[in-house]
Amino acid sequence: MEFHPYALIFPPLSPDELQELADDIKKNGQRESIKILDGKIIDGRHRFQACGLVKVKPFFEELAEDTDPLAYVVSANLKRRHLNTGQRAILAAQVANMQPGQRRFSAAGIPAADQNSSEKPPVSQPEAAKMFGTSRSAVQDVNKLKATGDPKLIEDVQEGRKTLNQAAQIAEERKHWCGRCKRIGKQAVGCAQCAENERKAAAGPQKEKSQAEKVRDNGKKGGRPSANGQAQFRIEDFTAALGKVVRMLDVLAREHGLVNRNGSIAETPAHLGIRRTLDEAEKATKDWYKRLKKESKK
């Protein structure tokens, strides 16, 4: 039988916990009915699974059609589960991040969209916080943890290994770490990228450069900038650029097997034509540049 999407909001029991429940049902029977709404299990998925493990026929109870599925699931499970503030905030953030039409959840608790559904509009952060008995600021802290890209922080809070405040403090310390250090959960000694990220953060947002500044900076990379800040033309740079194009043509020819037995490039008519055009462009540019220099000296 299919589970209702809201039945998957709360994390599943561990294999040992599920087996313990199954053993209890085998010994004492199923004490509470499995709730059904719209033909799907809305509450009691673990009882359903446990009955299957020990070959006990489960019994069900159909809820009224006007039952609010989300409110029902939250009310039923918060009574049973002993969740701390961080764990409740994670669930609230998950519900608040849901969009209209979302019907399934991955193992990581991230909902996947189904546009054919007619679910209610998304729940706001304050509404979700109130529903789970936590604060909006706690929900926002959870979203900040998710933004770090470090799923282990969320997992530690879910499993009770860290409080939400502890995880938030770690996230604050790591916010300028590079991607590699975040993945290994440890900042490498003397990591240049982390140091660069911290330097940029300390410097604050950078002002967008004007076009004149960009031209001046490009001039610094090539040759000497002229008095008006424009980049000076250098024939050496132009020749070097043409040389790069020629080498790329040779690489392209080799990649397509246009090579003679002795290893040289098999110069096809097209290849020779491009090379000839580039040679003519280089010669014409050099001649033009020489005339310009002569005229400027007059």
Q: Which of 112-126, 128-142, 230-244, 251-265 has the lowest mean pLDDT?
A: 112-126
pLDDT tens digits, one per residue of 207-218: 666 655 665 555
Is 120 or 94 the better-scoring residue by pLDDT?
94
Report pLDDT for 108. Answer: 37
* pLDDT-based confidence at residue 35 (cuts at 50, 70, 90): very high
- Which long-range contacts link 63-69 to residues 24+ away (Cβ below 8 Å)? 63/35, 63/36, 63/37, 65/38, 67/37, 67/42, 69/4, 69/6, 69/37, 69/42
Element (H, E) at 41: strand 40-43
Most confident among 61-70, 99-108, 149-158, 229-238 (mean pLDDT):
61-70
Residue 106 predicted with pLDDT over 50 = no
Q: For the chain, what percent of residues have pLDDT higher than 70?
A: 68
Residue 129 predicted with pLDDT over 80 = yes
Residue 103 predicted with pLDDT over 50 = no
Residue 91 predicted with pLDDT over 60 = yes
Residue 256 predicted with pLDDT over 50 = yes
Length, in residues, of the chain: 298
Residue 86 predicted with pLDDT over 50 = yes
| Mean predicted confidence (pLDDT) in 90-112 | 57
Instruction: Supply angle C-alpha 271, 275, 277, rounded to 5.
Output: 120
Cross-strand pairs, 225: 231
For the chain, the structural domain boundaries read 5-195, 220-297
Say which residues have a Cβ less than 8 Å from residue 37's Cβ, sequence separation at least 6.
Answer: 4, 62, 63, 67, 69, 72
* pLDDT-based confidence at residue 173 (cuts at 50, 70, 90): confident
Give the predicted TM-score (pTM) of the model.
0.51
Is 100 or 154 the better-scoring residue by pLDDT?
154
| Mean predicted confidence (pLDDT) in 126-140 | 89
Cα–Cα distance for residue pair 195/172, rounded to 1 Å: 15
Query: How high does pLDDT run on average in the chain?
Result: 76
* pLDDT-based confidence at residue 270 (cuts at 50, 70, 90): confident
Q: DSSP letters along 256-274, please?
A: TT-B-TTS-B---HHHHHH
Report pLDDT for 272. Answer: 75
| Mean predicted confidence (pLDDT) in 40-56 | 93
